[in-house]
Amino acid sequence: MSAVAKASGALKSVDYEVFGRVQVSHYFPNQYTEQEAKKLGVVGWVKNTSQGTVTGQVQGPEEKVNEMKSWLSKVGSPSSRIDKTNFSNEKEISKLDFSGFNTRY
């Protein structure tokens, strides 16, 4: 994550939960979230919940976190339908808590 580590400016952290048709069996939409996060250079995690939502945390430079928030709200995986996305605990952080982005089970 050298691009993230070298990024100047504020680091942000935000928790998210995505509602809608966001869990599709056999397609595991979290792989798309992981791919997008890695493409943007943010770190954190994603997890399917028992309530049918997708939850997680994103950390990185503010502009990249904002790009990921937009993707989580409007794009998502190809087979998903996003009804709404809740963001919480958004804050500035002094260092990243994760070294990459992964799926939790």
Tokens describing residue 21: 């048709």
pLDDT tens per residue across span 29-40: 578 899 999 999
Query: 11-90 — its CATH code?
Result: 3.30.70.100
What ranges do the domains of the chain cover? 11-90
Beta strand pairing call for 43-48 and 81-93: unpaired
DSSP class of residue 25 equals T
What is the DSSP annotation of 34-95? HHHHHHHT-EEEEEE-TTS-EEEEEEEEHHHHHHHHHHHHHT-STT-EEEEEEEEEEEEESS
pLDDT class of 21 with cuts at 50, 70, 90:
confident
pTM of the predicted protein model: 0.85
pLDDT tens per residue across span 67-105: 999 999 998 877 788 899 999 999 999 999 999 999 888
Which SS3 state, helix, strand or coil, does residue 102 take? strand
